[in-house]
Amino acid sequence: MLNNSQYIEKLRSSGLRPTKQRIKICEVLFNTQKTFHFTINELVKRISKSTNDKISLATVYNTVHAFKNKGYLKEIPINSDQSYFDTNTSHHHHFYDETQKDLIDIDDADVEPVKINTRIPGKKIKSVEVLVKVEDDKS
């Protein structure tokens, strides 16, 4: 929940020029009470609802990737035909509702730390993500 000049500062300080497209996308992504998950298509819809100036699809892709690289977004691995992104960049895991194709955060307090008692020599761990797939309980 920042204002525009704060987004401008944030962008500048991470080496991204604060263009009006990027500022608008910041607003759509980060001017919310709650974090959320989205696909590029869903983001494009949100953007067009909140502005009259259209932002090209290529710019949305470019910006999402730039933000991901800067650590402002995370990409969630769900094997699907499209990428899912998350505005919640803190460490947490997910439910994936296969019936409704919906990603839901799992509060980190509700997951015991995942202990992996093996390593790969010469490799360092970048992330440990748990994906809990759920479906409608018809029993």
| CA diameter of the chain | 54
Closest CA to 95 of 130, 138, 136: 130
Of the two residues 4 and 36, which places its CB atom closer to a copy of itself in the complex? 36
Q: Given the complex with Mn ion, which of 31 and 41 has the nearer CB atom?
A: 41
The b/e string for 73-105 (b: 16+ C-beta within 10 A; e otherwise) is bbebebeeeebbbbbeeeebbbebeeeeeebeb
| Number of Cβ within a 10 Å radius of residue 111 | 13
Report the distance separating Cα 30 and Cα 124, nearest Å: 30
Judged by CB under 5 A, the residue of 10, 86, 93, 96 near Zn ion is 86
Q: Exactly one of 55, 73, 76, 103 binds a copy of itself (CB under 8 A); which one?
A: 76
Asked if 111 is part of the footprint of a copy of itself (rule: CB under 8 A), the reply reads yes
- Bridge partners (DSSP) of residue 84 are 76
User: How far is the first Cα of the chain from the last one, in angstroms, to the nearest whole number?
Assistant: 43
Between 2 and 128, name the residue whose CB sits nearer to a copy of itself: 128
Mask of contacts with a copy of itself, 30-69, x by CB under 8 A? ----------------------------------------
CB closer to a copy of itself, 8 vs 106:
106
| Interface residues toward a copy of itself, by CB under 8 A | 75-79, 83-84, 93, 95, 97-99, 104, 106-107, 110-112, 114-118, 120, 122-137, 139
